[in-house]
Structure formats: C-alpha cells, structure tokens
Homo-oligomer: A and B are copies of this chain.
Amino acid sequence: MTKRIVVVGGDATGMSAASTALRHAPDGDLEVVVLERGHYTSYSACGIPYWIAGDVGDRDELIARSPEQHREAGIDVRMRTEATAIDVEERTVSVRGVDDGDSYELGYDELVIATGAVPTVPPLEGADAEGIFGVQSLEQGEEIVKDLGAGDRRRAVVVGAGYIGVEMAEAMVSRGLETTILDMAPEPFTQVDPDMGALIREAMEGMGITVRTGTSVDGFDVGEDGRVRAVRAGDTVLPADIVIMGLGVKPNVALAAEAGLTIGESGGIATDVRMQAAPGVWAGGDCAEVRHRLSGKGVHIALGTHANKHGRIIGTNIAGGYGAFPGVIGTAISKVCSLEIARTGLGEREASAAGFGYVTASVESTTTAGYWPGAELMTVKLLAEQRTGRLLGAQIVGRAGSAKRIDVFATAIWNAMTVEQMTFMDLSYAPPFSPVWDAVLVAARKAAKEVQAAVPASPV
C-alpha cells in the first residue's frame, strides 16, 4: 500500500527528507508531496552573503536542486504553495496556493514540518521602509542584489553583528560601500566571548568597517519616496542608503503550535531523538529544537548542516530505517574578509547559565611553523570544567587557515575529553601545516595548567 508523505517546506530539511525517504523505500511504496511557499528549493541560504559580495558569481550556483530536478526524481513538488493548517488527529493538511488562493485538503500518512525560521524584526518606526532588507531567503538576496544595482548606494548600515551581520558587512565592504555595523552588545559577535569579540572588532575596523557596539537601534528615518535615509540610535543618526537587518532568527512554528505540537524551551518544535514531534509528524531544521550535549538543554540553532542532517534522519525513519540525531554542541564558523571565526561548545555566559564551574585559557599561535612564509596568527580560547578538566568550549579568531581547527575541539568535546588528555594527542605536524606544537595542543596544555592551578571551590 502506497503511503503518502507530505513535506511542508522545500529547502534543506524538507527536500533531504523527501529524497532520502524515496531513495530508501521500495519502489511505489511512497508518494511524496512537497509544499513550498517560495520560488526555490534546496538552496544554500548560508551562501547568500557571498553571492551578494560577488564571491559566488551566479545565484543559480546556490541552488543544489531545482523543483524540476526533484520532480524528475519522482517528488511531487508544489511550488508557491503553503500549508495553512495541520490536523494531526485526522492526518490532513490544509493547502493554499500563494498566488491563486486555491485551497484544498491533503491527507497524509507521515508529515514533515520543515518550515524554517523567520527573522527577528523588532517593532521599530520605519522598519518597513524601502531599502531595509533581511537576508533570510534567496528572494531577499535577489532584492538586495537588485537594489544595490538600482541606484547610488554608498553607505550601508548593518544592524546586528552576529553571523549574518558580519558576513553582510563583508559583502557590503566588498562591493565598495562605506559600511557601519551596529550591535547592542559591548563587543561584536556575541557567539564568542567579549575578549574574543574585541579581536573581531579590531580586525573589522582594520578592514575599514565602522563598528558601533553598545548601540540599540531606535528607528529609521524614511524619505518622502518611502526609502530609508538613516538609522537612528539614541542621539546618533547614521545616514544609510541601504540597511541590512541581521538580528537573528526564530523558529517558524506558527503552524506547528496551532496544530497543538509541543514547542520546546528554545521556541523550536520539540521532537524525540528520531526527530518525531508526534505520531506520524516529523520536524527538523531551523523550525526544530535540538538537544545540546553539554548543557542538556533544548536549543535552537539555525544552520544548514543541522537541517541537512535532520532531513536525512527523518527520511531514513520514514523509509522504515533507524536514524537518531545525537544533538549539537554549538559548533559554528564564519569569516569577515580575511578574518576567520569559529566556536564550539559553551562560551563563558552559556557555561555559567548551565551551572558549570570553569577555567579559561587563551593562547596565541600560528597556523604553520613560525618560519613558514604563509604563517598566520590566531588566538585560541578554551573553557575547561573546574576540577574535572573536561573541555567545555573552544573559540578561535585568526587569519586564513586557523578556524577549521575548531573541528578538533568539537570532536574532543563530543568525546568528553579532558584538556589534560588532549595535551599529547597525535595531531599532524609539518612546517607548512602547523608549528611543532599545534595550537590545539598549546591551548590544551595551558588549560590543563589552569585546571591544576584552580583551587577547588567545593569542600571535596
């Protein structure tokens, strides 16, 4: 008997689930319908800033697979089509055409909710003016590219100095705009600790980006033509020809919440380890909550790599296999021009919030032997649990060739290694690739010393 799978959302999680399920299920066993509100499927949202910057030449390069390609693979992709309601008892979805308004009901045996995230938009005066853009979808990316070419754009203001913010600041600078980036926090990029954020500020300023921290946006000045003229922040008025909003995202759970599904502490849809939200209902990607392996808490991390993993796990389960998501540890990487930034595990604020006592250690090192002509500097900061010495977090800020080392720390955290255990690990060495003591080992050694030096705060 053919089972019908309905997938709501045709990007990473949705299409990956659809493809995986179809690939693993016996022929004719599954009918897969995908509902996608937008114009595109399976595209790299993470690539949008680089396309805007001009690093990626063509929009289509960001599209891994078009609706037509998915249809050729046997998936019934319905574009510009949205789900307006889910009945988890009756196992039906209410469907509506975005352009034509045509509505119908669709029964399902298994439902995949992959509705992604929506940008955080504070209710600011003038926020709906022309020239103010989010960077969530390929459509928004297209609008920005079009807008930049449509007139004299000399001054860009980027609101929010997180991942999207710093990447968009780079994009604006690459396109020759005078660029200011704003953030409420004392230092940019609060995904790392303030001492590491200060290094990012310094580097960004060196690239000609104006960094204004401790700055809340109060609203936007809008011209008579309806276009943004300036960003207002307290007494400061920052003239702007274009404004990029990068205040982060929140899970898009309206549909799931109305259907009575459980929304977790992070605001994302709660699921079990197999990404099942309710019998016959699966959820993954930017709309879902995942478990943090260190804090044990439910967290929401919008990231393409998780979304793809979720899709594969959901597809495997739907096809009758077994897939389980082991959780996250908050690994992420980014760059601003030649500066690389990476983190994994918990930062100081997060470690405290989770109740951990910890010590920190920061070291400066080089990407290669110091005498190698391409040697680049990097700073590595570690957090280790007090007394046990377990590695809790790592942060890297450095130049080309530094940040991917975060994966070594991620693997160490994944295995609950102590910094002491890491000190003499057999990592690769040759002069063009690392100093004789790789930065990972130097940082681990310093952290191990700090663990030993820390006087236990508890009586045992």
Contacts and interface: CB of A to CB of B under 8 A. Distances in A.
A425 B410 contact: yes
A407 B427 contact: yes
Interface string A153-166: 00000000001000
Interface string A326-343: 111111111100001010
Given A44-B436, A55-B372, A62-B371, A342 B410 contact: no
Contact of A405 (B407, B417, B425): B407
A433 B403 contact: yes
Interface string A306-342: 1011000100000000000111111111110000101
Given A56-B373, A415-B417, A404 B428 contact: yes
A412 B410 contact: no
Interface in A416-448: 417, 421, 424-434, 436-438, 440
A326 B313 CA distance: 37
A326 to B, nearest CB: 5
B426 A414 contact: yes
A303 interface: yes
A256 interface: no
Number of this chain's copies in the complex? 2
A126 interface: no
A44 B327 CA distance: 42
Interface core residue of A313, A332, A408 (most chain B CB under 10 Å): A408
Interface core residue of A47, A61, A411, A440 (most chain B CB under 10 Å): A411
Contact of A330 (B56, B405, B426): B426
A440 B407 contact: yes
A414 B412 CA distance: 9
A265 to B, nearest CB: 19
Contacts of A305: 427, 429, 436-438
Contacts of A332: 428-430
B428 A406 contact: yes
Size bracket of the A interface: 35 or more
B333 A430 contact: yes
A430 B56 contact: no
A414 B421 CA distance: 10
Nearest to A309: B424
A371 B426 contact: no
Contact of A333 (B55, B326, B372, B428): B428
A194 interface: no
A163 B432 CA distance: 13
A423 to B, nearest CB: 9
Given A55-B373, A373-B56, A404-B404, A410 B427 contact: yes
A426 B56 contact: no
A204 B447 CA distance: 41
Given A44-B431, A371-B61, A408-B407, A344 B56 contact: no
A50 interface: yes
A401 B46 CA distance: 20
Interface core residue of A62, A333, A417, A431 (most chain B CB under 10 Å): A431
Contacts of A407: 405, 407-408, 427-428, 438, 440
Given A404-B433, A410-B426, 7 more contacts: A46-B430, A56-B373, A331-B427, A335-B432, A404-B434, A408-B411, A414-B426
29 contacts: A44-B431, A46-B369, A46-B429, A46-B430, A46-B431, A47-B369, A47-B371, A56-B371, A56-B372, A293-B426, A304-B429, A306-B426, A325-B424, A326-B424, A326-B425, A332-B430, A335-B433, A342-B428, A344-B426, A401-B401, A403-B428, A403-B433, A404-B434, A407-B428, A410-B428, A411-B417, A412-B415, A414-B425, A414-B426
